[in-house]
Amino acid sequence: RLPTLAVVGATGAVGTVMCELLTGRRNVWGEIRLLASERSAGRRVRCRGEELTVQVLTEETLDGVDVAMFDVPDEIAAHWAPIAVDRGAVVVDNSGAFRMDPDVPLVVPEINPEQLRNRPRGIVSNANCTTLAMIVAVAPLHREYGLRELVLASYQAVSGAGQAGAEALHDQLAKVAGDRLLGSRTGDVRQAVGDELGPFPAPLALNVVPWAGSLADGGWSSEEMKLRNESRKILGLRDLKVSATCVRVPVVTGHSVAVHAVFATEIDAEGARNVLRNAPGVIVVDDPAAGEFPMPIDAVGTDPSWVGRIRRAVDDPRALDFFVTGDNLRKGAALNTAQIAELLAKDLTHP
Ligand code: 2RA
């Protein structure tokens, strides 16, 4: 019998991409069950070539599920994931509810698949989308050169904040389109956009906002702390120094990160390029003379992290600077979850 998969949160921004993604991937599932809140129940969604009806998430609809993917807010995951485990499922959770729990592995299949087997709570966590875009490129460099420090600046797309984020940007762009004064000293974007900010603290149209997530200690944002804490956990580097500044930009999908990585040994750009060319889940696009560098408009809808602008720091032969872009809804969320779930399916089918 092929295992039964539940997609919890099937109608959200990530859940929607998950259904598209499952359609294109190798089929390892028997039944696929789409679950969501009462608001979305009854909707018909195409998944794997079938027209499926979204059901309400209840204890009963979790019965018989082997693997449950959760793409829901933290508090919903915190409540329902243990219930799904009690009902016999292994949960792959894409929220922040369990990521730092020492009894929950934080798995990136290209980096630490072996951790999947050590899951005392029956839950496996998926890292945050910003971490995922960056870490698939950083990990192979760490293996080769020994990572000591990361200084990061993110350029995060609005769909990281869900469908409401994408809608807010499109609505705001419609309001500012065509007015050539807007964004200048005499054109007030705040006034044009009004108070339709969606999930953001300021307008995104014609603007960038150095804020994502909630306020953490010391003036850091939760998103910046996720980059630090999750990188440490995935790489198994408890003392890794990480400083991040997370910035929201007017891009619909595709999170980018400017990375300054300091290593234990000297590094040269061509050596790093070769490591990255051979790394799973990474594509190197690095020919600035030809106008070739990684950008969200190319990465959107694709699986790998796109890496370019690779150069050794001028003032430190042990440091490398590069730019990485990945689809925050695919590798940043749905794809990594699907990859983990497929490894679990393999174990269930051939223990
Ligand atoms: C964001 N990383 O981009 C978050 C979503 N998990 O808002």
pLDDT in tens, 298-321: 999 999 999 999 999 999 999 999
Distance 130 CA to ligand 1 centre (A): 7
pLDDT of residue 349: 87
Both tokens assigned to 279 = 């790394």
Cβ–ligand 1 contact at 343 (below 6 Å): no
Q: Considering 129, 142, 170, 246, which one is annotated as catalytic?
A: 129
Helical segments of 127-278, H only: 129-145, 163-176, 189-193, 222-235, 269-277
Angle, helices 163-176/13-24, rounded to nearest 10 degrees: 110
Say how far apart CA 238 and CA 234 lie, in whole Å.
10
pLDDT of residue 268: 96
60-87 mean pLDDT = 97
Cβ–ligand 1 contact at 334 (below 6 Å): no
Q: Are 260 and 310 in contact (CB under 8 A)?
A: no
Instruction: Kindly report the length of the chain.
Output: 351
Could you report the per-residue pLDDT of 198-246, keeping only the tens digit for each?
999 999 999 999 999 999 999 999 999 999 999 999 999 999 999 999 9
Both tokens assigned to 123 = 């839950």
Distance 52 CA to ligand 1 centre (A): 28
Residue intervals in the chain for CATH 3.40.50.720: 5-126+333-349
Task: Report the CATH architecture of 5-126+333-349.
Answer: 3-Layer(aba) Sandwich (3.40)
Say how far apart CA 324 and CA 341 lie, in whole Å.
25
Which H or E run contains 14?
helix 13-24
Say how far apart CA 335 and CA 21 lie, in whole Å.
7
Distance 270 CA to ligand 1 centre (A): 32
Strands, E assignment, the chain: 5-8, 32-36, 44-47, 50-53, 55-56, 67-70, 90-93, 123-125, 147-156, 241-248, 255-263, 282-284, 305-312, 319-326
By DSSP bridging, strand 282-284 and strand 305-312 are: parallel
pLDDT of residue 351: 79
Could you report the per-residue pLDDT of 87-140, keeping only the tens digit for each?
999 999 999 999 999 999 999 999 999 999 999 999 999 999 999 999 999 999
Residue 92 bridge partners (DSSP): 69, 124
Cβ–ligand 1 contact at 129 (below 6 Å): yes
Could you report the per-residue pLDDT of 243-260, keeping only the tens digit for each?
999 999 999 999 999 999
Cβ–ligand 1 contact at 212 (below 6 Å): yes
End-to-end Cα separation, the chain, in angstroms: 13
| Number of the ligand 1 atom closest to the C-alpha atom of 159 | 3
Could you report the per-residue pLDDT of 14-35, keeping only the tens digit for each?
999 999 999 999 999 999 999 9
Q: What is the pTM of this model?
A: 0.96
The single-letter code of the amino acid at 253 is: T
Q: Are 156 and 257 in contact (CB under 8 A)?
A: no
In this structure, whether the domain defined by 131-328 belongs to CATH 3.30.360.10 is answered with yes
Residue intervals in the chain for CATH 3.30.360.10: 131-328
Nearest CA to ligand 1 atom 3: 160
Say how far apart CA 129 and CA 330 lie, in whole Å.
9
